Structure 1
Amino acid sequence: MEILAVLIPVSLLLGGIGLAAFFWALKSKQFEDPQGDAARILKTDYDDHPKP
């Protein structure tokens, strides 16, 4: 039963970190163009030798 005194705060901390990372991703516009990303992988016009 004493382990719950450790596991509950740890799980709340990890959940808070995950929630903060999600809101950071929303704020930095990571999810703006999901359809474009899905179509981009199917295109054949890509550069075999990118610039260094």
Structure 2
Amino acid sequence: MSIIYFLIGCSVLLALVFLGAFFWAQRSGQNDDLYTPGMRILLDDEEENRVKK
């Protein structure tokens, strides 16, 4: 029975660590712009081809 208490404690601690990491990412601006990185991948090849020609 004591192992269940240990596992519950570990899972709560792990959940708090992930919650802290999520809030840290939000404060540091990790999710501010979700649109531009996807578009940048599509536009990089065109810009490199223009420079090389």
Q: Same fold (TM over 0.5)?
A: yes
Give the aligned residue type for 1:26: Q
- Give unpaired runs (5+ residues) of structure 1: 47-52
CA distance in 1, matches of 2:5, 2:19: 22
Q: Identity rate of aligned residues, in percent?
A: 41
- The structure richer in helix per residue is 2
TM-score norm. by structure 1 comes to 0.78
- Give unpaired runs (5+ residues) of structure 2: 49-53
CA distance in 2, matches of 1:41, 1:13: 38
Q: Select the structure of larger CA radius of gyration.
A: 2
Following TM superposition, the consecutive aligned residue runs of length 4 or more in structure 1 with deviations greater than 4 angstroms are none
CA distance in 2, matches of 1:9, 1:19: 15
Residue correspondences, number:
46
